Structure 1
């Protein structure tokens, strides 16, 4: 699945390092940036396969560092279960191998996430809506994850709308991303699109991702995280628009 030309290896390592910096500064964004950039270099299926190990390691780290894993897991389990089921269903798109379709879908997901985050007002979900809305959001997130390898739509805006404390929100995002990563791996294996060698190559991406997270934590003390995140989202908006339009050019 992978062409190990030296220039591609350098580009992949640099991508995961940059994605790690983003996660170190803002607390999120590693899978989104990695899929966005790698999706312009290799097929989205290959990019998703590379993403598995670094995404799992960095998100488990984020998940276990929070204060209330048990309470969040009990509260969000319907959403997490729906993510798994949705991802298994949606993985047929990513595993299908249609580069034009998956590239366009990935571009649409990036564009939607960047535009919503930049321009939409902060939402609030009433507590009485949560029991039925969580599974709906989880299923939608899973379908998008399975089709594109991007975990953020609509899970991130939804979790931000629940009124969680900052540390709880970071941990809830870690939980959602970890479940999405495991479900995506299971979906690709189930569809016969994830080979054993892929895990080795994915494991090699852990080091630059962790190095980038460390660098991002250093950078965080020297930059304004909201400004940094805004420019990232603007770049993601442009990248998503280009990927969405590419099959039409």
Structure 2
């Protein structure tokens, strides 16, 4: 068997999707059926399917098989994503389910929120969907002692911006926000929740907001699949500097 046989299978299936032979939402033939069709082993078929999953063309649903993803809506993460009236700009095709729970700080959360191990936090998990397909994952953390804010069942704010908005409305001062963006592979839990291949790159965004005394009031951990997300950062020059430059 040629070493690139799985690439040939992936190319053929990709063309079948692009030409509409397999339409959005349709299931692909079973892996054993594909193995017989292409006269290869099932592991070879799985490598080919994994390539398509990493590209965002298909998703593997546990116990059901492989399905063609609909054309995805791109999420643009921007530090300038709030309009002048204070409302975040949302993608009309997406909405998020929201869960709320109380957790104790440990591992990565202690240095992120600058709190001692065991400090009580409120965790908000936003899992966005486009139709039946999961799209992005956001975990938002707020110290339990800071403010008592409500948790919606669903939200159009797929990246959890409404948590920070509620904190501000409750009188919590936000003086600065630090955002760190890195590219990495998803961990096993993220790959399962977002139905990603383990070789698919994700944008990992850590967003930490602080008050005037440097106390962390909110920390967000965002995971955006790389093939359907982009990060855009805007800097506004002060008006007096623009006038001086003339």
* TM-score, normalised relative to structure 1: 0.30
Bigger CA radius of gyration: 2
Structure with the larger strand share: 2
Q: Which has the higher contact order (CA 8 A, sep 6+)?
A: 1
Structure with the larger helix share: 1
* TM-score, normalised relative to structure 2: 0.30
